Homo-oligomer: A and B are copies of this chain.
Amino acid sequence: MSAGDQDVEGVPQSGKAVAPGGPERSERWRRRREEIVDTSAKVFAVHGFHGTSTTELCEANGLGKGALYYYIGSKEELLAAIHDRVMDEVMVGAARVVEADATPPEQLAALGRELLDVIARYPDHVWVFLHEFPALTGQNAVQFRARRHEYEHVVESVIAAGVRSGHFRDVDPRLTSRAWLGMHNYTYLWLKPGGALSAEQVAERFADLFIEGVSR
């Protein structure tokens, strides 16, 4: 019996399964779920979302199908959970930046540091969510778009604040935020732990380049 199987005592063996993620779940359940999300992100990153079967996910996690359902629900729920795991971290970083007492250029630099830190720490998750988000449907797709927009809005607001404060030239905040997002998000293709530059060094050089570009 694998370690994973030990966790599933109490899973209904027949009849309707309990919907995952209810408030009654234990801390242990949540920790195990997080492990499954992380392991599965690695599998999806290699084989793709559509290219990965439920059987492969069960094998990678050392779980039976019933147990996988107990923790995750469905393959799509798993994809949504991978996305949430990244976006939770990204939004925590963005909140830290917004709450700090800093100028718009300082805030923009800090947003870059926070974002590249997440991309470097979660390469599989980021790969999966940037490649596979079209597989999300219904409420999952709505929530994905809402969270993504929420983050984009933070970047745009910092740029707009910089234009108002006179730190930045009279650039279009929306278009400029898109340039910034592309420059930073696209690092997922090459930013690796142990690379020539750390995430922090890349962020610092990108900030220098970008802030020079938008400054008066």
Instruction: List the B residue with the shortest CB-CB distance to A181.
Output: B186
- In angstroms, Cα B205 to Cα A181, docked, is 15
Q: Which residues of A (5-57) have their CB < 8 Å from a CB of B? A: 48-51
Q: Is A176 an interface residue (CB 8 A)?
A: yes
Asked if residues A187 and B182 are in contact (CB atoms below 8 Å), the reply is yes
What are some 14 contacts across the A-B interface (CB < 8 A)?
A48-B49, A48-B50, A51-B135, A171-B209, A176-B209, A178-B186, A178-B187, A179-B183, A181-B186, A183-B183, A209-B214, A211-B213, A212-B214, A213-B214
- In angstroms, Cα B212 to Cα A134, docked, is 35
Give how many A residues have a beta carbon under 8 Å from the other chain's beta carbons.
31
Question: Interface SS of chain A: helix, strand, loop or mixed?
Answer: helix
Asked if residues B213 and A209 are in contact (CB atoms below 8 Å), the reply is yes
Q: Which residues of A (46-90) have their CB < 8 Å from a CB of B? A: 48-51
- In angstroms, Cα B181 to Cα A49, docked, is 26
Tell me whether A48 and B135 are in contact in the complex, defined as CB-CB below 8 angstroms, given that A176-B209, A209-B171 are known contacts.
yes
- In angstroms, Cα B206 to Cα A158, docked, is 18
Question: What is the 8 Å Cβ interface bit string for chain A, positions 136-162, against chain B (1 contact, 0 not)?
Answer: 000000000000000000000000000
In the complex, chain B residues whose CB is within 8 Å of the CB of A176: 209
Asked if residues B187 and A184 are in contact (CB atoms below 8 Å), the reply is no
In the complex, chain B residues whose CB is within 8 Å of the CB of A134: 48, 131
Instruction: List the B residue with the shortest CB-CB distance to A185.
Output: B186
Q: What is the minimal beta-carbon distance from A57 to any residue of chain B, in angstroms?
A: 15
Cβ 8 A contact of A212, one of B48, B131, B183, B213: B213
Q: What is the minimal beta-carbon distance from A146 to any residue of chain B, in angstroms?
A: 16
Asked if residues B135 and A179 are in contact (CB atoms below 8 Å), the reply is no
- In angstroms, Cα B182 to Cα A184, docked, is 7
Instruction: List the B residue with the shortest CB-CB distance to A131.
Output: B131
In the complex, chain B residues whose CB is within 8 Å of the CB of A197: 175
Q: What is the minimal beta-carbon distance from A125 to any residue of chain B, in angstroms?
A: 16
Question: What is the 8 Å Cβ interface bit string for chain A, positions 177-210, against chain B (1 contact, 0 not)?
Answer: 0110111111100100000010000100110011
- In angstroms, Cα B197 to Cα A79, docked, is 33
